[in-house]
């Protein structure tokens, strides 16, 4: 009987033995005119129906991913003495923003098989189908993409940034930069033990332009002619206004 | 104060933009140039995507030229007939320029083209102006009166037309060609082209100096206006928030610049302008010649 219980417990373990209860400081980011980045605080608890398993410590991985978009990575080379874009590689999908926060060094939180399954690490999020036919060394281009975006704060790997207390409560803060694109930001929390994912929770944060930003952007895409004419009208009005003001100042 | 530009999709300091607008405004007031050739590279340096910088700068030039042309109209120093002929060429040129721009954008070479244009034109114009103003200073010292060539090969071309305000009777072909060339440059470089148009009008067409600036401004309004519309409808790269911030700074700066300019001698001004043009040219040329620290760049998807 005792053996049977133990087997049952083992079978139940990979299912919902430990679950995430999540809170977000905000589930919506509004890009208004004075937007200069946003800090999202992600906090939560691990819910358990059973005692804490003792085999390996629990770890938490939090990811936030911006909308996927195709991009082109170009490399400069020296042609006739000047530096020119020569090779280019199309990346079929890369997130515009991707942040990972973990509760321990990367090698301790996730093994390669589960990374492959859940697409967690930064290189796993970048899909480059058919890249081999375009350039000789696609890996170099993907590395460059990751490097540039990391320098710009668009891709972040913060090891140990998740604060985990008593294997139960966790919290982390993820900084979103000022140059964000709009869209649904997929937010995921993984609980891992010994590198294996034991539980996963997904939600999303909506990032959108609001107010004047929204209005101008929509107008420029939907009514480009009217937008162009409006820009010209503003320019001419400003030019005329300036000229009139100068005359007033000189005569006055 | 950070401000988010809706089209460029970057966040920049509003005071930095006002300051840049003001600084370039001072220079444009001092030298009587639009300042686009300085502003566009400066926008590249602060991280505005080149396509947005070029399109938005065209929009800003509409404002500064409009303000300038009003002053010239009051002084009756605008040759409307010549301006219209130049304009016809300018519109054809602008359409060609935007087409070239879009084609090169799809190749991923637009940055190179824009920068090369800048290096070549700033280098040539800057050197010419520098030499010319040095000679002018030497001549005024020796006391010799400057001479201007009255007749050249241009007067042998057909389709002659009388331009009363300029006091000219010449073929329409050279002004149309000058217009086309400046139109192409306006679209590709995001400049009004005054710094090329003004010497071309004086030395090639033989127009009197007093009507040159007004006439050039007159046609620049329409060419850059047309360019703005083309960029707005084909590339969606005109950023209105950016344009307005640059405008405010530019308008105030131009006022201060005019006052400073009135206190300096024409030759000294030209030498200063020439040095400045050469400095911008040198900086851009170095960027092309020296190996960049990052060889890779990321662009939006599109053919290549």
Residue ranges covered by each domain of chain A: 10-209, 210-252
Produce one character per residue of A202-228: b if its CB has 16 or more CB atoms within 10 Å, e if not. Answer: eebbebebeeebbebbebbeeebeebb
CA distance B69 to B162: 22
State the pTM of this model.
0.73
Strand (E) or helix (H) holding A122: helix A122-125
* Mean pLDDT across chain B: 79
pLDDT digits (tens, 9 = 90+) for A44-64: 888 888 777 777 888 899 999
Residue ranges of B 10-69 with Cβ closer than 8 A to chain A: 10-11, 59-60, 62-68
Q: B107 — alpha (psi -120 to 50), left (phi > 0) or beta?
A: alpha
Contact A88, A75 (CB under 8 A): yes
CA distance A218 to A224: 9
Report the residue from B59, B71, B232 with minimal CB separation from A243.
B71
- Statement: residue B256 has pLDDT above 80: no
pLDDT digits (tens, 9 = 90+) for B24-75: 888 777 776 667 777 887 887 787 887 888 888 888 888 888 877 887 787 7
- Statement: residue A8 has pLDDT above 70: no
- Residue B139: the pLDDT is 78
What stretches of chain A adopt beta strand conformation (E)? Answer: 18-24, 28-31, 38-48, 58-65, 68-79, 82-95, 98-102, 155-158, 163-165, 169-176, 183-193, 196-209
Strand (E) or helix (H) holding B185: helix B173-189
Residues in B touching A228 (Cβ below 8 Å): 228-229, 231-233, 238
- Statement: residue A6 has pLDDT above 60: no
Domain A10-209 in this protein, CATH class: mainly beta
Partner-chain contact B299 A181, CB within 8 Å: no
Among the listed residues B40, B42, B48, B32, the one whose alpha carbon sits nearest the alpha carbon of residue B239? B48
Does the CB of B132 have a partner CB in chain A at under 8 Å?
no
Residue length of chain B: 304
- Chain A CA closest to residue B64: A239
Partner-chain contact A34 B2, CB within 8 Å: yes
In sequence order, what are the beta bridge partners of A76?
Answer: A85
Question: In the numeric block, which tokens belong to residue B164?
Answer: 């009363």
CB contacts < 8 A (A, B): 188
- Mean pLDDT value of segment B228-240: 86
Instruction: Tell me the CA distances in angstroms from B175 to B13, B87, B184, B186, B243, one per residue in order.
Output: 42, 9, 14, 16, 30
- Residue B8: the pLDDT is 81
Q: Greater confidence, B187 or B226?
A: B226
Give B176→chain A minimum CA distance, Å: 25
Q: Greater confidence, A184 or B198?
A: A184
């Amino acid at each position: 009987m005792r053996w049977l219980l133990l087997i049952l417990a083992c079978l139940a373990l990979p299912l919902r033995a430990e679950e995430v209860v999540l809170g977000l400081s905000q589930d919506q980011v509004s890009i208004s005119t004075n937007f200069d980045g946003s800090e999202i605080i992600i906090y939560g608890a691990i819910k358990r129906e059973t005692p804490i398993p003792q085999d390996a410590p629990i770890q938490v991985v939090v990811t936030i991913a911006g909308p996927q978009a195709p991009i082109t990575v170009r490399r400069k080379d020296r042609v006739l003495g000047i530096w020119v874009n020569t090779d280019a590689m199309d990346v079929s999908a890369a997130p515009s923003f991707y942040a990972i926060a973990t509760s321990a060094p990367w090698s301790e939180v996730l093994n390669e098989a589960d990374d492959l399954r859940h697409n967690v690490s930064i290189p796993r999020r970048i899909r480059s189908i058919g890249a081999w036919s375009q350039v000789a060394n696609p890996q170099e281009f993907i590395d460059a993409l990751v490097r540039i975006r990391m320098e710009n704060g668009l891709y972040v790997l913060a090891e140990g940034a998740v604060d985990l207390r008593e294997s139960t409560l966790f919290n982390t803060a993820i900084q979103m930069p000022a140059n964000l694109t709009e869209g649904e930001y997929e937010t995921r929390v993984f609980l891992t033990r010994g590198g294996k994912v034991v539980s996963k929770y997904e939600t999303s944060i909506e990032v959108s332009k609001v107010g004047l930003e929204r209005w101008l952007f929509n107008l420029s895409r939907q009514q480009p002619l009217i937008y162009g004419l409006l820009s010209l009208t503003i320019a001419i009005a400003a030019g005329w206004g300036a000229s009139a003001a100068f005359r007033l100042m000189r005569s006055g | 104060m950070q401000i988010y530009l809706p089209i460029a999709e970057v966040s920049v300091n509003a005071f930095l933009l006002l300051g840049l607008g003001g600084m370039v405004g001072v220079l444009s007031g001092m030298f009587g140039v639009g300042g686009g050739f300085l502003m566009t590279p400066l926008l590249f340096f602060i991280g505005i995507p080149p396509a947005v910088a070029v399109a938005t700068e065209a929009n800003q030039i509409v404002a500064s030229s409009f303000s300038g042309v009003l002053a010239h109209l009051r002084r009756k120093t605008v040759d409307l007939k010549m301006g219209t002929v130049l304009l016809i060429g300018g519109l054809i040129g602008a359409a060609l320029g935007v087409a070239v721009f879009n084609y090169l954008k799809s190749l991923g070479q637009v940055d190179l083209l824009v920068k090369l244009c800048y290096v070549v034109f700033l280098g040539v114009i800057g050197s010419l102006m520098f030499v010319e103003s040095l000679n002018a200073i030497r001549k005024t010292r020796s006391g010799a009166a400057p001479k201007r060539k009255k007749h050249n090969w241009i007067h042998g071309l057909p389709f002659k037309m009388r331009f009363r305000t300029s006091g000219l009777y010449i073929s329409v072909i050279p002004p149309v060609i000058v217009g086309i060339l400046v139109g192409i440059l306006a679209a590709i470089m995001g400049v009004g082209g005054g710094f090329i148009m003004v010497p071309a009008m004086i030395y090639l067409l033989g127009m009197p100096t007093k009507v040159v600036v007004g006439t050039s401004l007159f046609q620049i309004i329409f060419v850059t206006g047309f360019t703005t519309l083309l960029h707005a409808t084909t590339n969606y790269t005109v950023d209105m928030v950016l344009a307005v911030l640059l405008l405010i700074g530019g308008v105030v700066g131009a006022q201060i610049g005019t006052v400073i300019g009135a206190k300096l001698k024409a030759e000294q001004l030209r030498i200063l302008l020439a040095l400045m043009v050469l400095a911008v040219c040198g900086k851009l040329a170095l960027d092309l010649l020296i190996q960049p620290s990052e060889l890779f760049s990321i662009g939006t998807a599109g053919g290549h």
